């Protein structure tokens, strides 16, 4: 059993009875012991408390967000709408232990999100903020503008790089490269892989059809590249 499985059990379980697997994990995991200890203290404080305070809005928000789908905690968080100050501190600590990764999220939830934003920028970009390819040393340009070096992407043969710009897709700064091939314009957008909440398999490319446009995504090193044709 892993800590992840334990947390899942903790959030979902209906009775306080532990399975052997839970007990075995608890016996040698200090972090999960702490969760149990905090939970018991919280129960106690809730039972003993008589001085009631409003739960701060931000904590309530986190409770509501994080506890969705976990029945036992939903019930508890209902009770937490009115809570004594010591119990509040313990609840906040419990949440910290239970949802250590809840905060960090990338800018792109899915490949579809990237595709839609990329097409819309591709169609509306014009010439704003562009550096022409004649003046362009791509690696030092991207390092200066975005904080990471981008190597020239692999594009269809005969394609000519016209210009580059730093371009925002949603919340994310990307490198926008503009090409022409046989008189037709296409774009490649480059951004760090941790901006994506999805994974691309190494050496694979993924094509999405959006009516008149096609978006192809692939990963190069720690960067994701999205080509709009
Ligand atoms: Zn654990
Ligand atoms: Zn752009």
Segment 37-52, tens digit of pLDDT:
988 888 877 777 655 5
CA of 2 to the centre of ligand 1 (A): 6
Asked whether the beta carbons of 127 and 118 are under 8 A apart, the reply is: no
CB neighbour list of residue 178: distance below 8 Å, 6 or more residues apart: 125, 130, 161, 162, 163, 164, 165, 185, 186, 187
Q: Quick check: 82 pLDDT over 70?
A: no
CA of 104 to the centre of ligand 2 (A): 26
Mean pLDDT of 65-73: 53
Q: Quick check: 67 pLDDT over 60?
A: no
Segment 88-114, tens digit of pLDDT:
777 778 777 777 654 457 889 899 999
CA of 30 to the centre of ligand 1 (A): 7
Query: What ligand has the least distance to the C-alpha of 189?
Result: 2
Structure confidence at residue 75 (pLDDT): 54
What pTM did the predictor assign? 0.58
Asked whether the beta carbons of 141 and 164 are under 8 A apart, the reply is: yes
Residue 147 neighbours by CB distance under 10 Å: 9
Structure confidence at residue 80 (pLDDT): 55
Query: What ligand has the least distance to the C-alpha of 120?
Result: 2
Structure confidence at residue 149 (pLDDT): 94
Q: Quick check: 74 pLDDT over 60?
A: no
Share of the chain above pLDDT 70, in %: 81
Share of the chain above pLDDT 90, in %: 52
CA of 188 to the centre of ligand 2 (A): 9
Mean pLDDT of 201-228: 95
Residues with Cβ within 5 Å of ion ligand 1? 3, 6, 29, 32
CA of 168 to the centre of ligand 2 (A): 7
Mean pLDDT of 1-25: 84
Structure confidence at residue 151 (pLDDT): 92
d(CA 14, CA 76): 12
* Sign of the dihedral through C-alpha 203, 209, 210, 214: positive
CA of 56 to the centre of ligand 1 (A): 29
Mean pLDDT of 161-176: 94
Q: What is the CATH number of domain 111-228?
A: 3.30.200
What is the chain's mean pLDDT, rounded? 84
Structure confidence at residue 101 (pLDDT): 57
Query: What ligand has the least distance to the C-alpha of 4?
Result: 1
Structure confidence at residue 12 (pLDDT): 78
Mean pLDDT of 5-30: 85
Q: Where are the domains of the chain?
A: 3-98, 111-228
Mean pLDDT of 9-38: 87
CA of 192 to the centre of ligand 1 (A): 31
Q: Quick check: 153 pLDDT over 90?
A: yes
CA of 166 to the centre of ligand 2 (A): 7
Could you give the 3-state DSSP secondary structure of residue 30? helix
Mean pLDDT of 71-80: 52
Mean pLDDT of 26-32: 92
């Amino acid at each position: 059993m892993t800590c992840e499985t334990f947390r899942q059990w903790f959030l979902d379980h209906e009775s306080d009875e532990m399975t052997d697997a839970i007990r075995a994990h608890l016996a040698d995991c200090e972090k999960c012991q702490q969760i149990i200890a905090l939970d018991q203290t919280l129960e106690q404080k809730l039972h003993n408390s008589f001085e009631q305070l409003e739960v701060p809005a931000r904590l309530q928000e986190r409770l509501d967000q994080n506890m969705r789908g976990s029945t036992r905690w939903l019930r508890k968080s209902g009770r937490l709408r009115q809570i004594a100050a010591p119990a509040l501190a313990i609840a906040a600590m419990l949440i910290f232990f239970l949802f250590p990764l809840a905060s960090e999220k990338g800018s792109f939830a899915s490949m579809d999100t990237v595709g839609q934003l990329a097409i819309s920028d591709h169609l509306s970009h014009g010439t704003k903020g562009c550096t022409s390819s004649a003046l362009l040393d791509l690696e030092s340009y991207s390092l200066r503008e975005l904080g990471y070096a981008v190597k020239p992407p692999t594009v269809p043969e005969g394609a000519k790089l016209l210009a580059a710009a730093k371009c925002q897709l949603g919340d994310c700064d990307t490198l926008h490269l503009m090409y022409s091939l046989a008189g037709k314009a296409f774009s490649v957008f480059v951004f760090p892989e941790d901006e994506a909440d999805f994974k691309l398999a190494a050496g694979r490319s993924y094509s999405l059809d959006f009516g008149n446009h096609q978006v192809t995504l692939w990963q190069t090193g720690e960067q994701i590249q999205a080509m709009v044709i």
